[in-house]
Amino acid sequence: MPWVSAIVLLPLLGALSMLAVPAAPAGALQARIHALVTAGGTLVLTAILIGLFDRDAAGLQYADHTGWAEEVGLEWDVGVDGISLWLLGLSAVVFLLVVVATCWRPPERPRAFLAMVLLAEAGLLGLFAAGNLILFYVFWEAMLVPFYFLIGMWGGEGRARATTRFVIYTMVGSLLMLVAILATAFVAQDITGQFTFTIRDLVGVAFTDTQSGWLFAGFALAFAIKLPLWPFHGWLPGAYRAAPILVTVLLAAVMSKAGVYGFLRIGLPVFPEGADLLAIPIGVLAVIGILYGSLVAWRAPTMRLLVAYSSIAHLGFIALGIVAFDLQASQGAVLQMVNHGIVVAAAFAIVGIINRAAPDDRIDGIGGLAAGAPRLTWIFLIVAMASLAMPGSNSFVGEFFILTGVFRQHLWLALLACIGIVYAAVYMLRLYQSTMNGPPRGPAPPRQAELRVADVAYLLPLVAIMFLIAFWPKSLVGATTATLERAIAPAQVAADRPADQIRADVTPNPPPDALPLPGDEMPEAEAAPEEAAPGEPAP
């Protein structure tokens, strides 16, 4: 069974099925059923895929391949490896929870809202599963459209400005990425004689340092904006603030992983020399992001902004883990992608719940909720501890992995990043103390913020996953080892790391013995695309 294709296409099908649902009052229930069934089905399929996944294999598994317009290199090519597996899982879980929460208290025009959420899910799942650069780009761009409408049509104050900024920022990076993708294929064709956009066929292509540097830079800008890396974060506060809280959850928990995923999946394996060239600059920006995000979060006036800026800091850690080119650090990065997704999804949901008692979202406008909302206080405490990476929490494992690896490679970056951990405690505890402890104050009675059945249904699975990862991180990390060893090996070679750290062989592409003479190379390189066109549709 084509598992991965089914997982990607099921939400798309769900979104299209909304076209058959009558408008709001009559079709409200039907729309909810459609959304729940497709989002739930996606999670079930993803869970089955996680069960079937071969944890020791390094390559792409369950790859599905179909032509689209193969004359020009467009094709449907999806699969799953140790990195994307957990991001698929994260997306499926978070999206199902968001759909459940939406169905519980539907916004106006629920049909369109749910359709957009499902489209976004298809876009993100496709992005994490794409094995072809063009398909990656298609999903990268296509998922902007549902988010654009979700923020623009259901968002709060300042949404018009926020959406425009969000889309333009992202597109600035991604259109250059499109040029970089095209350039990658044509440059690789000159080297290997094979015209392809498939990521696994591009791994190991012997680009010169200059080529690799420029191509990596073209991709890195798009990833850095999406991440967002300081100073490309200008779109983030506005979008997180203007979006409806459930959409903010999606942005922070799932979409923010697209950039780091790109670095790990495309940047490092395909352009190791370029990645090595830019590793320190990106690492420095990541550390600045950690410090900047933490400091701004500390002084943030509203709860949403606090969580938003803390997100910048956390993603800085993940980026730092990736550019360390260290197995342990990159495992920590993958683990932390999942952790951050789960924790931030819970954190924004709690902000949304507190907002019931304090609609203006200001931190200094509310306090003493513990008196009227004890259950919320408990859950919030757990989430806050997870967010500031308390030993014993899931984030602790991830950050520990990352910092161990970074300490080994770049001592001073790790030292600076540690300051961020201290600040995480400062801002999270500030938020917790001022809202939960002290005498009750605020516009509405604290009871307003007590957890209801819907909130528990949303938060409990997230907390359960936090505990699961905290107690049994190996379940997650183990499956990433083989993939990551291979993904970072080329970059480690390029960075001249000691041989005992490099755990996978780097196969040059084309293999050295198959390299034709300079004279033979030219006709072959030119003949390849013409031959590929009629030849390929046959299988």
Q: Establish if 186 lies at the interface with other proteins (CB under 8 A).
A: yes
State the Cα–Cα distance between residues 100 and 95, nearest whole angstrom.
8
Question: What is the nearest approach in angstroms of other proteins to the Cβ of residue 407?
Answer: 40
Q: Establish if 182 lies at the interface with other proteins (CB under 8 A).
A: yes
Site for other proteins in 123-152 (CB under 8 A): 134, 137-138, 141-142, 144-145, 148-149, 152
Nearer to other proteins, 181 or 451 (CB): 181
- Nearest to residue 320, comparing CAs of 345, 337, 295, 305? 337
Q: Which stretch binds other proteins (CB under 8 A): 93-101, 162-170, 398-406, 462-470?
A: 162-170
Q: Which stretch binds other proteins (CB under 8 A): 43-51, 62-70, 383-391, 430-438?
A: 62-70
Nearer to other proteins, 67 or 508 (CB): 67
Q: Per-residue string for binding with other proteins, 64-83, x by CB under 8 A?
A: ---xxxxxx-x---------
Buried b (16+ CB within 10 A) or exposed e, 248-287: bbbbbbbbbbbbbbbbbbbbbbbbbbbbbbbbeebbbbbb
| Three-point CA angle 379, 381, 385, nearest 5° | 120
Q: Per-residue string for binding with other proteins, 86-125, x by CB under 8 A?
A: ----------------------------------------
Q: Per-residue string for binding with other proteins, 8-47, x by CB under 8 A?
A: ----------------------------------------
Concatenated DSSP letters of 489-504: HHHHHHTT--GGG--S
**Under 8 Å between Cβ of 80 and 49:** yes
Nearer to other proteins, 74 or 206 (CB): 74
Residues in a beta bridge with 67 = 75
| Three-point CA angle 42, 93, 392, nearest 5° | 150
Residue among 153, 191, 291, 515 that touches other proteins (CB under 8 A): 153
3-state secondary structure 357-406: HCCCCEHHHCECHHHHCHHHHHHHHHHHHHHCCCCCCHHHHHHHHHHHHH
Number of residues engaging other proteins in binding (CB under 8 A): 33
**Under 8 Å between Cβ of 364 and 434:** yes
**Under 8 Å between Cβ of 473 and 72:** no
Residue among 176, 291, 295, 460 that touches other proteins (CB under 8 A): 176
**Under 8 Å between Cβ of 235 and 228:** yes
Q: Which residue has the tokens 């398909």?
A: 135
Nearer to other proteins, 78 or 253 (CB): 78
Question: What is the nearest approach in angstroms of other proteins to the Cβ of residue 26?
Answer: 14
Residue among 115, 167, 260, 494 that touches other proteins (CB under 8 A): 167
Residue among 26, 168, 381, 456 that touches other proteins (CB under 8 A): 168
Buried b (16+ CB within 10 A) or exposed e, 419-439: ebbebbbebbebbbebbbeee
State the Cα–Cα distance between residues 383 and 379, nearest whole angstrom.
6
Question: What is the nearest approach in angstroms of other proteins to the Cβ of residue 391?
Answer: 45
Q: Establish if 172 lies at the interface with other proteins (CB under 8 A).
A: yes
Buried b (16+ CB within 10 A) or exposed e, 115-140: bbbbbbbbbbbbbbbbbbbbbbbbbb
Question: What is the nearest approach in angstroms of other proteins to the Cβ of residue 47?
Answer: 28
Rg (CA), the chain: 23
Question: What is the nearest approach in angstroms of other proteins to the Cβ of residue 25?
Answer: 13
State the Cα–Cα distance between residues 414 and 361, nearest whole angstrom.
34
- Nearest to residue 242, comparing CAs of 145, 169, 163, 344? 163
Residue among 26, 29, 160, 522 that touches other proteins (CB under 8 A): 160
Nearer to other proteins, 148 or 401 (CB): 148
Question: What is the nearest approach in angstroms of other proteins to the Cβ of residue 197?
Answer: 10
**Under 8 Å between Cβ of 272 and 121:** no
Q: Establish if 163 lies at the interface with other proteins (CB under 8 A).
A: yes
Q: Which stretch binds other proteins (CB under 8 A): 34-42, 180-188, 270-278, 410-418?
A: 180-188
Q: Which amino acid is at 530?
A: E
Nearer to other proteins, 54 or 530 (CB): 530
Nearer to other proteins, 140 or 325 (CB): 140
| Backbone angles phi and psi of 373, in degrees to 5 | -135, 70
Residue among 32, 159, 226, 257 that touches other proteins (CB under 8 A): 159
Question: What is the nearest approach in angstroms of other proteins to the Cβ of residue 58?
Answer: 30
Nearer to other proteins, 71 or 531 (CB): 71
Residue among 17, 164, 404, 481 that touches other proteins (CB under 8 A): 164
Q: What is the token pair recorded at 372?
A: 């009227």
Nearer to other proteins, 159 or 233 (CB): 159
Q: Establish if 171 lies at the interface with other proteins (CB under 8 A).
A: yes
Where do contacts with other proteins occur on this chain (CB under 8 A)?
67-72, 74, 134, 137-138, 141-142, 144-145, 148-149, 152-153, 159-160, 163-164, 167-168, 171-172, 175-176, 178-179, 182-183, 186
